[in-house]
Structure 1
């Protein structure tokens, strides 16, 4: 069952579907970390899960153009409708990322760009554990987490009600390790399209 906070996020992104892409469609920071994910994939034919895919731009679009099979998940029906139009070569579904299930070792990579910060901090460890299960050995997880003091916030954002939550950088990194992932890169970076910092990580599921 979808949680109250997940419903807030989904309804907010329904309302902001076009405005969000106009405001945040371009980011050099996101592109650098997307490039790290793409570099870890086979030349073609990789299987990638895009958690919180939004309208499919740029993550699902760029990966599909490189010849990879992309599955995008988002709680917003309006965002998914746009993703299906924008990236017809990928597969998209309306779903709560905390509830969706996949077989073990399904994906070569999982990306979560600006989406985990909408998940209640107490639920993030279980989500990360699921990501670790879904990855194939040697698979990569590239994601952003909230930075700064841990906490939760609900309020007006870009003209719609929205929810954000994070556990803090040290706790997020510990949760990745607890899930059996090895963090290869991590950095707190200021966004180039808004005055906010995110913790970015690239983690690998060990072989064997």
Structure 2
């Protein structure tokens, strides 16, 4: 009979692409209300993003990976003259970002599967915490394959050791995957994927943020080694 619990769709594997879509389609509107103007109160973040844009050649092709529903990072980078595409797995996030920032470009795309691109830069602004930490090496390898030699990478992530399903810190009432990272772990994974680490800074949380330190890692895609 319809309506039986057995007929309900099974929950996707925690941290999988389907799980990211489930969680973000459901909470995209809440996130937009909470963080639409977040960069106005985060001077350090704006400085780091501005510095990233300055390292990318004018007009360079850049992905804002895991752009979310606000589109604010995509807009900031585009204002520097970069050719930016905001990408996100969640169709709802992309729809809201297009509405919020009609002058910017957005697409539904998996940031973990972009190896065929030819980019000058990639920003991951709090986009890694939806996937298990065990997937970090594969994600960074995909990003390295998508960036040209000399291409720029910026990762912003929350510091910690959490790695599993928790109650949504945003207060949506959902159970979501939540992964945190250490400076050492990000450095090691990026280096193994073919990036040269240029800078790694950690800051304390602002008063209105989740009370977790933030890690900012800037790196350059190293030249590909010729086969022997």
Q: Into which bin does the TM-score normalised by the smaller protein fall?
A: 0.7 to 0.9
Higher relative contact order (CA 8 A, sep 6+): 1
Aligned-pair distance for 1:174? Answer: 0.4
- Write out the 4+ residue segments of structure 1 that deviate beyond 6 Å after TM superposition: none
From 98, 105, 126, the counterpart of 1:114: 126
Alignment of 1:173 onto 2:187: yes
Alignment of 1:186 onto 2:200: yes
From 116, 128, 139, the counterpart of 1:103: 116
TM-score of the pair, normalised by structure 2: 0.80
What is the match of residue 68 of structure 1?
Answer: 82
What is the match of residue 93 of structure 1?
Answer: 107
What is the match of residue 73 of structure 2?
Answer: 59
Aligned-pair distance for 1:32? Answer: 2.4
- Structure 1 gaps, min length 5: none
Alignment of 1:203 onto 2:213: no
Comparing 62-71 with 4-13, greater Cα deviation is found at 4-13
Q: Cα deviation per residue 1:70-105 (whole Å; 9 max; x = unaligned)? A: 12221211110012223334432223322x33425x
- Structure 2 gaps, min length 5: 1-11
Residues 148 and 169 in structure 1, CA contact (< 8 A), matched pair in contact too: no
Instruction: Quote the RMSD (CA, aligned, Å).
Output: 2.2
Q: Secondary structure at the match of 2:102?
A: coil
Inter-CA distance 161–152: structure 2 relative to 1 (3 Å threshold): closer
Larger radius of gyration: 2
How many residues get paired?
204
| Alpha-carbon distance between aligned partners in 2 of 1:190 and 1:198, rounded to the nearest angstrom | 6
